[in-house]
Amino acid sequence: MFEFSEEAIKRYSRHILLPEVGGTGQQRINEARVLLVGAGGLGAPAAYYLAAAGVGTLGVVDGDTVELSNLQRQIIHSMADLGKNKGQSARETIEGLNTDVRVVTHQERLTSKNIFPILKDYDVVMDGTDNFPTRYLVNDACVLSGKPLSTGAVFRFHGQVMTIIPGEGPCYRCLFREPPPPGMTASCEEAGVLGVLPGMIGILQATEILKIILNEGSLLKGRLLSYEALEMEFRTIKVRRDPECPVCGDHPTIKELIDYEEFCRVNF
Amino acid sequence: MSDEIKIDKEINIKGEVCPYTFVKTKLALEAMKAGQVLKVIVDHLPATENVPRTLKSEGNEILEVSRINEGDWQIITRKGNR
Ligand SMILES: [Zn+2]
């Protein structure tokens, strides 16, 4: 028997009505523990919708504070949050939306030292990070610990999303083996982004996370979804697991996490 | 007819309107096993059409829809395999 309150039945009725969700699926959502790496452009909209969906525990890793230049796209923060830690700000917004959700803030940057102790309390991970060192660290840690991961990135008018199910499909390194060397990445001056773009990509990631929780539909597993906002085109590109991949390949060489050096923080 | 049907569970959701009539029916049914029979009491007339229609489309069998008094109806359904 379900133990939904009258309020929960009303709040989640549009989910419960879906044959693919129902009371069973909603209960899974309410019990799920999702770790959001970053409450920035991608994490902000994802956190908002996952909280609305009733995800039981939302962990937010972010060591940054809310700045005015974030508000062009990071919709979970507002003027009153300027200067606050982003996780804290996200928690306060979510408290006003849905008190079923427990928000846990990790007000620090992920490193090879702290990532496993944080990951162990979560079932699914969303990478909404703004830098290569963290992106690779999260990918490697998820592969090594077998946690499903949604990874997303945005740049100017372009975005991409992929879902990584360790042991079942390729990882981020199968696609891009190493982080680009310094000087090959966009400089801070080139790092503009249309504000709605991370909204689109972050919500696609949140959708994948809900599908993972529900075990429904076809994931972007082995498929990279690429979105061009100017042309308004979506494309999916097949990605195979690379047998030579240093972390998920047949003879992995990465057995310990790497803290790559950071070049320029562009703060998506 | 309902005299012969063994009811495994009964819910009274008088006062509820669509779509909550179906939401509550569905929640009750989800907690039951395939083949079991659920009786739902409603007092919201549109529910006597909407609830059976959706139950059917989701693979359940409608055994009976009938008025039981001045303002109340019963919907009796057998849970499908889906
Ligand atoms: Zn790989």
Q: Between A and B, how many CB-CB pairs are < 8 A?
A: 30
pLDDT tens digits for range A151-163: 999 999 999 999 9
Assigned domain for A161 exists: yes
State residue A179's pLDDT score.
87
Domain boundaries, chain B: 9-78
Assigned domain for A75 exists: yes
Domain tally for chain A? Answer: 1
Is pLDDT of B64 > 90? yes
Assigned domain for A187 exists: yes
- Residue of B19, B27, B58 with shortest CB distance to A23: B27
B contact set with A (CB within 8 A): 19-20, 22-24, 26-27, 30-31, 58, 82
State residue A187's pLDDT score.
57
Q: How far is the CA of A250 from the centre of ligand 1 (A)?
A: 9
Assigned domain for A20 exists: no
Q: Sorting pLDDT into bands at 50, 70 and 90, what band is A263?
A: low
Range of the domain at A205: 32-264
Spatial neighbors of A173 by CB under 8 A, at least 6 apart, are A136, A139, A140, A242, A245, A246, A247, A248
User: What does CATH list as the number for B9-78?
Assistant: 3.30.110.40
Catalogue the active-site residues of B: 18
pLDDT tens digits for range A99-143: 999 999 999 999 999 999 999 999 999 999 978 999 999 999 999
State residue A189's pLDDT score.
60
Assigned domain for A15 exists: no
Assigned domain for A93 exists: yes
A contact set with B (CB within 8 A): 1-2, 4, 9-10, 13, 16-17, 19, 22-24
Assigned domain for A3 exists: no
Is pLDDT of A149 > 60? yes
Spatial neighbors of A161 by CB under 8 A, at least 6 apart, are A150, A151, A152, A201, A204, A205, A208, A220, A224, A225, A227
Assigned domain for A4 exists: no
CATH number at residue A83: 3.40.50.720
